């Protein structure tokens, strides 16, 4: 919600009036000096929208405020009113309405286009979040990063490395949305004060690492790639089992952590729907973008969301620090997922992070069944992984 500053007002007053933590208001208006608010300056209040209301014959501003669970001054501010008695029946008044529910939930799977629209919606409603494009896919689609919080601890999460695991994007976006709603409503998440997480942790999220692949699984091949994609898919128009990017490279087999072992033993020796690690490590723009994001930030831990198995992997070749086991035990406790230290696998994003930085990294396998998992599992997946999401921020 946006309006123009009134003479004599302050962020402290707006925080009290709208019951929004002051740091969220400050961070939503980075280009405005909070100690020198000038009358007429446009500012944003996160977690609110202004909704139109047609003034009725018997209305008074006090009655409207009481009926709509608002305050007299809040209505006057957003409508730039000087006199509360000057109401004209039939005219439109704008009322502040607090957002108390998620806005990015969907009953249908969504690809990169809908994801970008939902990110744009979140930025409008919660302008304290920061958005970055960390790179582009093979087809030039932006790979978006969302940043929330300003603490010293830095946590990174991502989803949809694999195309037919698109449900991970939906889960991660819903987790983000739930967190944002809790922040602006001064509420808790499983007993944890959300604003404390915001002040103590900076969260980085890449909700869709492989936009081309996800769109292929959901919508079929684009016309200019159709012939090559069908050839990789052995002529089949069925793409539900496709994991790779649009060039047939498995993005989670692209990292320089014993990549040569995977290259040697993987059955596909050329581009394929799954498992082909590429002709060299970090050959694909999506994998490169993720590697550069990690290199340019000192993340304390990373979580990569995949499906399926209701388990997670937290070790790699003994490079993991003691902290990893502490986190793994807590993740296991809050989710019911099984913690597995080592598996016979290399060249993954998590593997490379642990090997390169000696910090905790996790591959979280959501749900059970055959990919892509049905949306009927969504609620159960969300409830179990929410504990991991929160634990990764507060521990």
Residues of the chain with pLDDT under 70: none
**What was the pLDDT predicted at 34?**
86
Rounded CA gap, 95 and 69, in Å? 10
Residues 205/134, Cβ–Cβ less than 8 Å: no
Q: Could you tell me which of 76, 129, 75 has the C-alpha nearest to residue 104?
A: 129
Tell me the H-state helices in the chain: 11-18, 22-28, 61-67, 72-78, 112-125, 167-184, 194-200, 211-219, 226-232, 259-265, 285-295, 322-335, 349-357, 378-394
Q: What is the pLDDT, as a whole number, of residue 107?
A: 76
Angle made by CA atoms 84, 22, 150, in degrees to the nearest 5: 150
Q: Are residues 380 and 336 in contact, defined by beta-carbon separation less than 8 angstroms?
A: no
Task: State CA 129 to chain mean position distance.
Answer: 10
Cα distance between residue 385 and residue 334, in whole Å? 8
Give all domains of the chain, ordered by start, each with its CATH number: 2-98 (3.10.350.10), 112-213+281-394 (3.40.630.10)
Q: What is the 3-state secondary structure (H, E, C) of 285-317?
A: HHHHHHHHHHHCCCCCEEEEEEECCCEEECCCC
Q: What is the pLDDT of residue 108?
A: 81
Unique residue bearing structure tokens 């050839």: 231
Residue 229: its pLDDT value, please? 97
DSSP annotation of 245 reads: -
The answer to whether the bond into 208 is cis (omega within 30° of 0) is no
Q: How many CB atoms lie within 10 A of CB 155?
A: 23
List the one residue out of 27, 32, 23, 95 whose CA is nearest residue 59: 95
Q: What is the pLDDT of residue 106?
A: 74
Rounded distance, CA 13 to CA 292, Å? 42
Contact 242, 163 (CB under 8 A): yes
- pTM (two decimals): 0.96
365 carries an active-site annotation = yes
Residue-wise pLDDT for 202-252, tens only, equals 999 999 999 999 999 999 999 999 999 999 999 999 999 999 999 999 999
* CA angle, 63 then 69 then 70, to 5°: 80
Catalytic residue among 165, 262, 365, 386: 365
């Amino acid at each position: 919600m946006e309006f123009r500053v009134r003479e004599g007002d302050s962020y402290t007053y707006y925080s009290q009036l709208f019951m929004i933590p002051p740091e969220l208001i400050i961070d939503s208006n980075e280009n405005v000096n909070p100690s020198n608010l000038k009358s007429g300056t446009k500012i944003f209040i996160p977690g609110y929208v202004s909704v139109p209301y047609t003034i009725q014959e018997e209305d008074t501003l006090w009655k409207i405020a009481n009926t709509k669970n608002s305050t007299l001054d809040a209505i006057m501010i957003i409508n730039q009113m000087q006199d509360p008695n000057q109401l004209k029946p039939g005219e439109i008044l704008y009322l502040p309405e607090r957002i108390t529910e998620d806005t990015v939930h969907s009953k249908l799977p969504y690809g990169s286009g809908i994801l970008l629209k939902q990110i744009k919606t979140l930025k409008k409603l919660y302008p304290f979040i920061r958005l970055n494009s960390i790179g582009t896919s093979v087809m030039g689609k932006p790979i978006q990063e969302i940043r929330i919080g300003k603490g010293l601890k830095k946590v990174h999460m991502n989803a949809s490395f694999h195309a037919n695991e698109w449900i991970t994007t939906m889960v991660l976006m819903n987790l983000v949305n739930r967190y944002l709603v809790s922040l602006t409503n001064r509420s808790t998440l499983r007993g944890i004060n959300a604003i404390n997480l915001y002040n103590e942790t900076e969260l980085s999220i890449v909700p869709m690492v492989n936009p081309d692949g996800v769109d292929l699984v959901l919508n079929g091949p684009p016309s200019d790639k159709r012939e090559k994609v069908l050839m990789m898919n052995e002529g089949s128009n069925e793409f539900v089992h496709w994991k790779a990017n649009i060039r047939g490279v498995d993005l989670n087999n692209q990292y320089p952590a014993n990549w040569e072992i995977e290259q040697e033993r993987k059955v596909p020796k050329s581009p394929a729907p799954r498992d082909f690690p590429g002709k060299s490590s970090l050959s694909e723009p999506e994998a490169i973008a993720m590697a550069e994001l990690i290199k340019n930030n000192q993340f304390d831990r990373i979580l990569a969301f995949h499906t399926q198995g209701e388990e997670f992997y937290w070790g790699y070749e003994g490079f993991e620090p003691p902290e990893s086991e502490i986190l793994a035990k807590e993740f296991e406790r809050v989710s019911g997922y099984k913690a597995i230290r080592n598996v016979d696998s290399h060249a993954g994003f998590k593997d490379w992070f642990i090997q390169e930085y000696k910090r905790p990294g996790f591959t979280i396998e959501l749900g059970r069944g055959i990919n892509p998992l049905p949306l009927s599992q969504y609620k159960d997946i969300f409830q179990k992984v929410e504990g991991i999401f929160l634990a990764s921020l507060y521990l």
